[in-house]
């Protein structure tokens, strides 16, 4: 069941609905807040829209890099599993 959470990011009050637990939502809000703070410091801008866009770009970049790393790991695991299967079949 979805629960309403009131959060504050960049001085904006937002209500969000989530079926995740309180701790997860707090972690997400904390993560986004950290990224927004970092983007604001590096941008040297006080414009909330520019800071939000920069933070979103940084989060997207991080996500895509991690997704690529995950795919690489999956590919390596698949290759190793196939090698093990061949070794097992050769022993038989």
Mean pLDDT to the nearest integer, 59-68: 96
Q: Is it the case that residue 92 has pLDDT exceeding 90? A: no
Distance CA 49, CA 51 (A): 5
Distance CA 79, CA 62 (A): 26
Mean pLDDT to the nearest integer, 28-46: 91
pLDDT, position 75? 94
What domain count does the chain have? 1
3-state helix/strand/coil string of the chain: CCEEEEEEECCEEEEEEECCCHHHHHHHHHHHHHHHHHHHHHHCCCCHHHHHHHHHHHHHHHHHHHHHHHHHHHHHHHHHHHHHHHHHHHHC
44: left (phi over 0), alpha (psi -120 to 50) or beta: left
Mean pLDDT to the nearest integer, 9-24: 93
Q: By residue range, what is the domain housing residue 48?
A: 3-91
């Amino acid at each position: 069941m979805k629960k309403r959470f009131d959060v504050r990011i960049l001085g904006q009050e937002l209500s969000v609905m989530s079926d995740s637990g309180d701790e997860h939502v707090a972690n997400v809000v904390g993560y986004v807040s950290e990224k927004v703070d970092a983007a604001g410091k590096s941008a040297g801008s006080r414009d909330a829209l520019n800071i939000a866009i920069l933070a979103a770009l940084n989060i997207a970049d991080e996500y895509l890099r991690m997704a690529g790393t995950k795919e690489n790991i999956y590919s390596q695991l698949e290759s190793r599993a196939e090698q093990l299967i061949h070794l097992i079949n050769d022993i038989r």
